[in-house]
Structures are given as C-alpha cells and as structure tokens.
C-alpha cells in the first residue's frame, strides 16, 4: 500500500519522512460457490426380471435432486435459531447461497433433524443428564399455538394456555425446552418429579408440589431473588410513604448483602457462612417483612389485598426458600439461566407470531435444545446438524 501522506497528529506532509516500519490489517470474508455432485448409480437385473438400483451415498432418492448438509443447516439455523418464518427463510437462503429452495424444503429440514434426534434418544438422554445434576433451574412462558391440543378422552381442546418449559443447569451447560399443553401444576412439574437435587424457580406455586408429595425426593427450592427484587421495586413505586420504600429496600439490601457474603465465602473456600453474620442478615429481612405486613394489612386495594401485603406475606411464608442459597452455597440465588432459556421462544413468537400446532412447537423445542446445548459444548451448528443426519448426534452423558 502507499504510505500515509500526512501526519495524523499535526497534519505535516510526510513525503520524505523517516521509515517507521509496517503494521498489518486483514479482511476476512466467505466465498459461497454453489456446487453439485452427481452419482451414476449402477443397476442390476435379477433372474426374476426385477431391476435394482444402487442407493445414493447421501441417502437421497433415485432420479431426484436433494440438498446437502450446508443448505439443510441453513434451513434449520435460520428458522430454529434465527426465528424466521419458513417462507421468508427460503428467500434468505436464495439471497445468501444463490440456491432456490422451497418453503416445504425448509420445513422438511426441521422435520428430518427432529426425527433423527428422536430416533437417537436425544430427549431421553438430555433429561437423564439433567436429573443427575445437583442443581437445576426452571422457568415457563406462555406461547401462541393456533391449533390447540385435543384431549384424547373428550375430544375437546385442552384447557389453558400452551407453555414452553425451560430446564437448565445454572451454568447453562445443558438446556432443555419442552412444549406443554397448559400451565397446570401436574403438567409443569412432570419432568422434575424424580429430580433429587436443588431447584431454582420463580414464585409459581406448581413447584411446591415437588416438596409436598408423598414420594418427593427434591432436596429443596431456591426462590429467585431477582424476581423478588423486581416485585419489591414494583411495590415501592405504589407507595404510600417512606415506610413502603424502606421495608422493600431493606429486603433487597439484606439479600444483596447475603449474596456478597456467599461470594466471599466461595473466594475464601469456606463451606458455610459465618453464623453470626447470617443471623444478622436474616434478622434484617424478617424485621422488614413483618413491617411490610403491618404497614399493608388493612390497606385497601381494588383487587383485594394490597400488593405490598401480598408480597410481604409471601416472603414470610417462603422465607426458608428465599434464603436457601445461604445454607447451600452451591446453589445460585437466581433463576436467570432458565429465564434466558425461555427467551428464544418469546423472540420466535415476536417474529413469527405463533406455532401452528403443538407438534411444531415440540419440534422447535427439541431442535432448540439440541443446538443450544451442542453450541455450549463447542460444536458448530453445521457440525451438530451433520452429525445428527449421519445418525450420530451429540448426546449428553449423566
């Protein structure tokens, strides 16, 4: 390249200036060239007069055209990861790769991958690996399904709104999404009934059944402190007076200080918190919660109990679950991992609007679980999908 003509500092002409060496700059890009492979398939005629043709090595069909792993990966990645509607995805593939594909091909690419994952037992392997973990986090979110599921016994639509359930390890190493026909208690907790570890959740009451049933094996529940803090901020805005701000702020402050103490204990490799420190923090919390109950017990609200009273009584009832992380230092204090787990479903719905049936929702959840987890284990989307189509998908091990 030509040397610079003027100083970037003072603007002096650099013609004849001293040589100061060189440095470097790179431009990275991708060159996409469509290519085709044609196989000449030998045919043999048996003595019975039947003619048999060799099968194509890529699993295609005779006298037909099929698309290879890159286009199949593009179809799945754009729809399952990119949340692009099927027909729009076919247009994007044409723009990016110069290859005409139909919306039907895009849909079939997802169907084929889901079938391969089901055949290999990916769902069962994932749930087995998750249930063997010491700590899990879970969250659920409503989604829009055009054609609701039908009850096999009555023939009527299943009551309730369809949901996507996310179950993840706190480090997000393993991720599982499942489509649910409703948010009924038994439906939500079905996959977690045999989980024998610590579960981090928001305040939804369904998870309490994992502790109260006769065959319960769950060690304990950690209520998400981030949810609690958001609820506290919401109540503080309602007022009235500084006392409302004080007790909600003191709850938030006590939990934040407890989290800081837990992190310090981790750094110092201490197995437990200092009992005097923990007692002081818990006393602050209890005093603040009692104040919230007293302050809001007789306060009128258009829907019944004042939100401050509802929150304070809930915090008192579930105090041990709120403070679970201070006694079990390997348990995170938030369900942020699971919250991030349901975000893809929310994004997909915001872009595409809905899923047509529960079957297409379940297919999307299966593919999303596979691609998210394999990416967290160092595989590219192309590698993960190619392995699955070859009958050797990545599977988690407990």
What residue spans define the domains of the chain?
Answer: 225-332
What the block records as the tokens of 245 is: 């701000």
CA dist 87 and 92 (Å) reads 9
The pLDDT, as a whole number, for residue 59 is 65
User: 62's torsion region: left (phi>0), alpha (psi -120 to 50) or beta?
Assistant: beta
Does residue 309 contact residue 299 with C-beta atoms inside 8 Å?
yes
Q: In what order do the strands lie in the sheet with 135-142?
A: 175-180, 163-168, 135-142, 198-201, 220-223
Q: Hey, what are 125's tokens?
A: 């392997």
pLDDT tens track for 304-316:
899 999 999 999 9
Which residue in the block uniquely carries the two structure tokens 């989307």?
381
How far apart are the C-alpha atoms of 113 and 366, rounded to whole Å?
Answer: 9
Nearest Cα neighbor of 144 from 376, 349, 365, 291 is 349
Residues of the chain scoring pLDDT < 50: none
The values of phi and psi at residue 322, to 5°, are -65, -40
Nearest to 237 by CA among 222, 226, 224, 248: 248
Cβ atoms 188, 206 nearer than 8 A: yes
Nearest 10 degrees: Cα torsion 131, 135, 141, 146: -20
Distance set, CA 17 to CA 2, 4, 8, 266, 323 (Å):
13, 10, 13, 58, 69
Other C-beta atoms lying within 10 Å of the C-beta of residue 158: 18
b/e map 267-285, b = 16+ CB within 10 Å: eeeeeebeeeebeebbebb
């Amino acid at each position: 390249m030509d040397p610079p003509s003027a100083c970037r500092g003072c603007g002096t002409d650099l013609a004849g200036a001293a040589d100061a060496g060189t440095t470097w700059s790179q431009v990275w890009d991708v060159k996409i060239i469509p290519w085709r492979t044609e196989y000449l398939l030998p045919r043999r005629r048996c003595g019975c007069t039947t003619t048999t043709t060799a099968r194509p090595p890529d699993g295609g069909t005779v006298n037909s055209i099929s698309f290879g792993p890159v286009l199949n990966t593009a179809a799945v990645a754009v729809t399952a990861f990119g949340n692009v509607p099927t027909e729009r995805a076919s247009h994007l593939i044409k723009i990016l790769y110069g290859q005409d594909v139909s919306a039907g091909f895009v849909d079939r690419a997802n169907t084929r991958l889901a079938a391969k994952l089901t055949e290999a037992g990916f769902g069962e392997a994932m749930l087995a690996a998750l249930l063997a973990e010491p700590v899990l986090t879970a969250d659920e979110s409503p989604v829009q399904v055009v054609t609701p599921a039908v009850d096999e016994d009555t023939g009527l639509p299943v009551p309730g709104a369809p949901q996507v359930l996310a179950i993840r390890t706190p480090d997000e190493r393993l991720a599982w999404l499942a489509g649910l026909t409703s948010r009924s208690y038994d439906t939500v907790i079905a996959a977690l009934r045999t989980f024998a570890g610590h579960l981090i959740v928001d305040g939804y009451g369904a998870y309490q059944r994992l502790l109260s049933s006769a065959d319960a094996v769950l060690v304990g529940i950690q209520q998400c402190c981030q949810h609690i803090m958001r609820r506290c901020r919401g109540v503080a805005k309602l007022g009235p007076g500084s006392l409302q701000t004080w007790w909600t702020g003191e709850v938030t402050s006590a939990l934040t200080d407890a989290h800081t103490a837990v992190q310090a204990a981790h750094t110092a490799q201490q197995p437990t918190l200092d009992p005097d420190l923990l007692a002081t923090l818990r006393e602050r919390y209890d005093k603040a919660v009692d104040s919230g109950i007293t302050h809001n017990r007789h306060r009128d609200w258009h829907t019944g109990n004042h939100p401050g009273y509802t929150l304070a009584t809930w915090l008192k009832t579930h105090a041990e679950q709120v403070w679970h992380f201070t006694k079990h230092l390997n348990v995170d204090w938030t369900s942020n991992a699971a919250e991030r787990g349901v975000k893809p479903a929310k994004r997909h719905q915001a872009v595409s609007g809905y899923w047509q049936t529960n079957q297409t929702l379940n297919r999307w959840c299966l593919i999303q679980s596979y691609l998210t987890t394999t990416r967290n284990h160092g595989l590219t989307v192309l590698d993960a999908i190619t392995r699955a189509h070859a009958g050797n998908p990545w599977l988690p091990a407990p």
